[in-house]
Amino acid sequence: MDSLQKTAVCLLFLSVSSSATDSQFATFICNAVKTEYNKTATISCTGNKKITNVLVKRCENCNKQNSCLETIINTWVGNDSSENGRIQLVLQHNVSELHIQEVKATDQRVYQWSLHSDAGEYYNCTTLEITAPEIEPNFTGNGRKLTCLSPIGHRQRQIHWFDGHGNNLTGSASLVSEEGEGGLTSLTSTLHETPTLTASEYCCTVLYDVHTKRNKTKCLSAHKAVTDYLRFTPTPDQEILKTMKYPETPKTKKEHVATILVLVVLVLCCFAAVLYYRHRQRAMAKGNFADLLRTLLPILRQHEKAEENAPNQEV
CA distance 170 to 241: 12
Looking at residue 52, the DSSP 8-state letter turns out to be -
Which domain-ending residue is among 131, 154, 175?
Answer: 131
Whole-number pLDDT of residue 20 = 45
Note whether 152 and 85 are same-domain residues. no
Note whether 161 and 233 are same-domain residues. yes
Pair 125, 113: CB distance under 8 Å: yes
Ranges of the chain whose pLDDT falls below 70: 1-27, 143, 193-198, 222-256, 283, 285-294, 296-297, 299-300, 303-304, 307-315
Note whether 89 and 147 are same-domain residues. no
Note whether 112 and 203 are same-domain residues. no
Whole-number pLDDT of residue 214 = 85
CA distance 20 to 243: 59
CA distance 218 to 203: 6
Q: Does some domain include residue 19? A: no
CA distance 49 to 32: 21
Q: Are strands 33-36 and 120-131 parallel, antiparallel or unpaired?
A: parallel
Q: Does some domain include residue 41? A: yes
**pTM for this model (two decimals):** 0.54
Note whether 32 and 118 are same-domain residues. yes
Whole-number pLDDT of residue 7 = 54
Note whether 77 and 110 are same-domain residues. yes
Q: Does some domain include residue 178? A: yes
Q: Identify the helix (H) or strand (E) that includes residue 253.
A: helix 253-314
Pair 164, 176: CB distance under 8 Å: no
Q: Does some domain include residue 91? A: yes
Note whether 146 and 127 are same-domain residues. no
Closest CA to 96 of 80, 118, 77, 82: 80
Which domain-ending residue is among 106, 131, 156?
Answer: 131
Would you say the C-alpha torsion 154, 155, 157, 158 has a positive or negative sign?
Answer: positive
Note whether 239 and 174 are same-domain residues. yes
Q: In which domain, by residue range, is 194 found?
A: 138-247
Whole-number pLDDT of residue 291 = 66
Residue 108 DSSP SS3: coil
CA distance 254 to 136: 31
Task: Report pLDDT digits (tens) over 183-210.
Answer: 788 999 998 866 556 677 889 999 988 7
Would you say the C-alpha torsion 110, 116, 119, 120 has a positive or negative sign?
Answer: positive
Please list the residues that pair with 219 across neighbouring strands: 203, 227
Pair 151, 186: CB distance under 8 Å: yes
How many residues are present in the chain? 315
CATH number, domain of 96, equals 2.60.40.10
Task: Report pLDDT digits (tens) over 16-28.
Answer: 444 444 444 446 7
Which domain-ending residue is among 185, 218, 247?
Answer: 247
CA distance 253 to 198: 17
Q: Identify the helix (H) or strand (E) that includes residue 188.
A: strand 185-192
Residue 19 DSSP SS3: helix
Percentage of residues in the chain having pLDDT higher than 70:
69
Whole-number pLDDT of residue 39 = 92
Whole-number pLDDT of residue 160 = 93
Whole-number pLDDT of residue 197 = 61
Pair 292, 298: CB distance under 8 Å: no
Q: Does some domain include residue 9? A: no
Q: Does some domain include residue 153? A: yes
Q: Does some domain include residue 289? A: no
CB atoms within 10 A of CB 57: 20
- For Cα atoms 75, 62, 32, give the angle at the middle one, nearest 5 degrees: 75
Note whether 120 and 156 are same-domain residues. no
Q: Does some domain include residue 236? A: yes
Note whether 143 and 238 are same-domain residues. yes
Would you say the C-alpha torsion 133, 142, 166, 253 has a positive or negative sign?
Answer: positive
State the total domains in the chain. Answer: 2
Note whether 171 and 211 are same-domain residues. yes
Closest CA to 137 of 67, 186, 74, 193: 186
Note whether 202 and 159 are same-domain residues. yes
